[in-house]
Structure 1
Amino acid sequence: MSFKITDKVKWVGKIDWELKFFHGNEYSTHRGSTYNSYLIRDKKTALIDTVWQPFAKEYVENLKKEIDLNEIDYIIINHAEIDHSGALPELMKEIPNTPIYCTSNGVKSIKGHYHQDWNFVEVKTGDELDLGDSKLVFVEAKMLHWPDSMFAYMTGENILFSNDAFGQHYASELMYNDKVDQGELEQEAIKYYANILTPFSPLVKKKIDEVLGFNLPVDMICTSHGIIWRDNPTQVVENYLKWSNDYQENQITIIYDTMWEGTRRMAEAIAKGIKAVDNEVAIKLFNVSKTDKNDIITEIFKSKAILAGSSTINNGILFSMAGMLEMIKGLKFKNKKAAAFGAYGWSGESVKIITQELRHAGLEVIGEGIKELWNPNEDAVQRCKKFGEEFANKLTNKNG
């Protein structure tokens, strides 16, 4: 499958409808994904990125139907991760001397993956590649989200080839932002940012400000995953600026794991207490052992505060909560408050452990949390409700 984007640019990638997990098992892809590769035919011909390794042979065979491979003058690899560069070994068997344009870190990364010394051409911000009527202008985008990442801007067509930035794991043959379901697109875009780009938010803002400073017209943003932004394409840039600025909505997310439903009952009582104080706040509850971890992370990203709870087991916490806290720590969320809770049988360390982990994650912990012995009775439920009220009051600066 291929399709025409402009008279000079054609999409030659792969739609992966079956993909359910990405980065190993780290990222859920409920709606599949795409591996977007672009063929530019001007006086010179350039290929931008390839596809994931399992589709390499299919990709090269399909590319042969589009063009004599020997007519490809340049290969641009904006990012060396295998979902973008994976077809290079298969492609380079056919055209081994074709120059590969990438950053200096890109060279290291490609060599590290494939152990080949191909014809690399290192580029940096501001370097240009003349294609004839148009040029490719390269912009390094270090740590968005790998050290080797870069953008390529095509003059004349006013297209920004942004690689992972502004993308989504979202399979659709409609391919353009104005054609797909807007709710699905928004959800996949914010999920992608929350789970992948959040740790690099300061760099996101700095890089976007730098690119905007070039005053380049942008008619289209061609990402490496998901749809192409052509209708008001800079709307996603505006969203990234918003999301990178310690983003939060009027939402509180309560996450927990439970052995015999005691911690669940605590979570529900805390939620009632919050709602009694603030009827406008959105409250969402998730059992972390039953709910997709990346969907939970997206909700935490949107929240102004989180509460985390676990039963105590073996003087520690349940493993699904431990994993979630590790993800939260790695993503370096900012501008969020937090507290811990949990039920226990005899030792009761979970609340202290969770509180410590929340602090290590950089969240502002409010108080030392609440724990209840065994299955909470009505008095315990009322204490949890009161805890929720106090938590909400502290968020809204009521009663201190």
Structure 2
Amino acid sequence: MELISVRINDFLHYVGVNDRDTHLFENLWPLENGVSYNSYLINAEKTALLDTVKITKVSDFTAKLRAALGDKNLDYLVIHHMEPDHSGAVSTIRELYPDVQIVGNKRTIQYLEEFYGITENILEVKDGETLDLGDRSLTFYTTPMVHWPESMVSYEPKSKILFSQDAFGGFGALDGTIFDDEINLDFYHSETRRYFSNIVGKFSKQVQSALKKLAGLEISMVCPVHGPIWRSHPEKIIELYDKWSRYEVEEGVIIVYGSMYGNTQRMAEVIARELAVQGISNIKVFDVSKTHESYILSEIWRYKGLILGSCTYNNYMFPLMTKLVNILDMNKIENHVLGVFGSYSWSGGAVKALKEFGEKGKYDMIPEVVEAKCAACDEDIIGLRNIARTMAHKLKEDRLTELTDLLDN
């Protein structure tokens, strides 16, 4: 059966593919709902393929590309980002179209040789340079560390389309729907935030730099390499990335615990209940042994309050809590209030490690810490409730500040 590309407009085709087979993105992050690898063909006086796909999906990809090209030859292959889920089919494209010229920046050219041994028929472009395609053109803007050193975007000025590589992308296969006006945005909002927090969030400062760099462009459509094409409301995805990369959060608390026999879990339940009593409605409690850190990280990115609890395991944190804390440390999250608690049997260590993590990070730490021996006693329960009360007080202070700012404006 012939696979047909999707015509976006009179010169642009979508030739991307869905991946519902891979369990873990980057062999780390769950893909319960799959992921798309988006590629685009500009069919102007000159033809240009914008990025490829993961090599495991090359057959469907090349079938769509042939259908979109028809009898034409492929003049250019533009590589915005060298990560193999987008550059994996580069060698295949060169075999199919031996005369194709590969377009990339200096770092791209370096990676081309190091990944694929490609050194010939390459056109280097610099920041701000334009590739002439006849009746269309592409202007390139480097966006280093969003989220690799060679990352760049391109802009077609006549149609005002931004080809944004991994920026403005999201998890989730495109289930028949390709454009933002065709999809359930509630579903993609969650998967897009999870993608941002898992993949791009560590580079939030670089995202802000890229947004400032592109601020002068009039953008009518955003074409990322993952997730839907934003043709009706491109400003929505740009606003979300701006919000998340500024660490803008909502009122609410994420409680994450690691517990072997239930004692630390019971401590988490005490805190959660007291938060509700204190008027906090957005409360989510996660067992780090059950919920993958991908989803926990996404929720932490959303809400201001974070409370971590761990039993002691071999004089340190519970191993899966250690994994989560390492991921949080790597992401350098800002604008959060942090509380910690835990338990031990014969020798502590977990609470000390959680405190050290919080103190070296950019967290507003709640002073009171509870470390129960074996099971929480009455005094520990009072301390846990105090953690919740302090958290609620800090969140309500923010609520009042926001209300005051709104009234002043």
- Give the alignment's TM-score, normalised by structure 1: 0.93
The offset of 1:393, in angstroms, is 3.0
Code of the aligned partner of 1:319: P
Equivalent residue for 2:172, pick from 161, 170, 173: 170
Residue 68 of structure 1, CA deviation: 5.7
Contact between 2:41 and 2:68, CA under 8 Å: does it hold in 1?
no
Residue 63 of structure 1: CA displacement?
2.4
1:388 positional shift:
1.9
2:23–2:30: 8 Å Cα contact kept in structure 1? yes
The counterpart of 1:152, out of the listed 154, 174, 198, is 154
Distance in 2 (CA, whole Å) between partners of 1:387 and 1:125 is 50
**In 1, are the aligned partners of 2:143 and 2:153 still within 8 Å (CA)?**
yes
CA distance in 2, matches of 1:13, 1:208: 25
Once the two structures are overlaid, the 10-residue window that deviates more, 375-384 or 31-40, is: 375-384
- Look up the match of 1:348: 348
Query: Corresponding residue for 2:144?
Result: 142
Give identity over the alignment, percent: 33
Q: Which residue is 2:254 aligned to?
A: 253
Secondary structure of the residue aligned to 1:325 is helix
1:239 aligned residue: 240
Q: Does the 8 Å CA contact 1:330/1:361 hold for their aligned counterparts?
A: no
The alpha-carbon deviation at position 200 of structure 1 amounts to 1.6
Using a 3 Å threshold, how does the CA distance of structure 1 residues 13 and 391 change in structure 2: closer, same or farther?
Answer: closer
Count of residues in Structure 1 that have an aligned counterpart in Structure 2: 394
Q: TM-score, normalised by structure 2?
A: 0.92
Amino acid at match of 1:74: Y
Query: 1:198-277 maps to which residues of 2 (within 5 A)?
Result: 198-213=201-216, 216-277=217-278
Q: Deviations over 1:44-66 (max 9, x none)?
A: 11110011011224423442333
Map of 1:280-359 to 2, 5 A cutoff? 280-359=280-359
1:29 counterpart letter in structure 2 = L
Tell me, yes or no, if the aligned pair for 1:69 and 1:94 is still in contact at 8 Å: no
Instruction: Specify whether residues 12 and 185 from structure 1 end up closer, same or farther in structure 2 by C-alpha distance, changes over 3 A only.
Output: same
Q: Is the 8 A contact 1:269 1:382 kept in 2?
A: no
Q: Give unmatched runs, 5+ long, in structure 1.
A: none
CA distance in 1, matches of 2:317, 2:116: 41
Report the alpha carbon displacement of residue 396 of structure 1 after superposing the two structures with TM.
Answer: 4.2
Counterparts of 1:35 and 1:391 in 2: how far apart (Å)?
Answer: 41
Per mean C-alpha deviation after superposition, the further-off stretch among 118-127 and 289-298 is 118-127
The answer to whether the Cα contact below 8 Å between 2:368 and 2:387 also exists between their aligned partners in 1 is no
CA deviation after TM superposition for structure 1 residue 163, in Å: 0.9
* Deviant stretches of 4+, over 6 Å: none
SS at match of 2:211: helix
Q: Hey, what's the Cα distance between the residues in 2 that align with 1:231 and 1:63?
A: 25
- Aligned match for 1:12, one of 9, 15, 18: 15
Task: Measure how far apart 1:21 and its partner are.
Answer: 1.4
SS state of the match for residue 250, structure 1?
A: strand
Q: How far apart, CA to CA, are the structure 2 residues paired with 1:46 and 1:143?
A: 25
Residue 391 of structure 1: CA displacement?
Answer: 3.6
Q: Where does residue 94 of structure 1 map in the other structure?
A: 96
Instruction: Determine helix, strand or coil for the equivalent of 2:141.
Output: strand
Instruction: Please report how far the alpha carbon of residue 329 of structure 1 lies from its aligned counterpart in structure 2 after TM superposition.
Output: 0.6
Residues 1:195 and 2:198 are matched in the alignment = yes
Residue equivalent to 1:392? 392
1:299-346 Cα deviation digits (max 9, x unpaired): 111121211111111111111000000000111101112121111111
1: distance between equivalents of 2:71 and 2:60?
Answer: 14
CA contact (8 A) 1:145 1:164 kept: yes
Asked whether the 8 Å contact 2:255–2:306 carries over to 1, the reply is yes
| Structural RMSD (CA) | 1.9
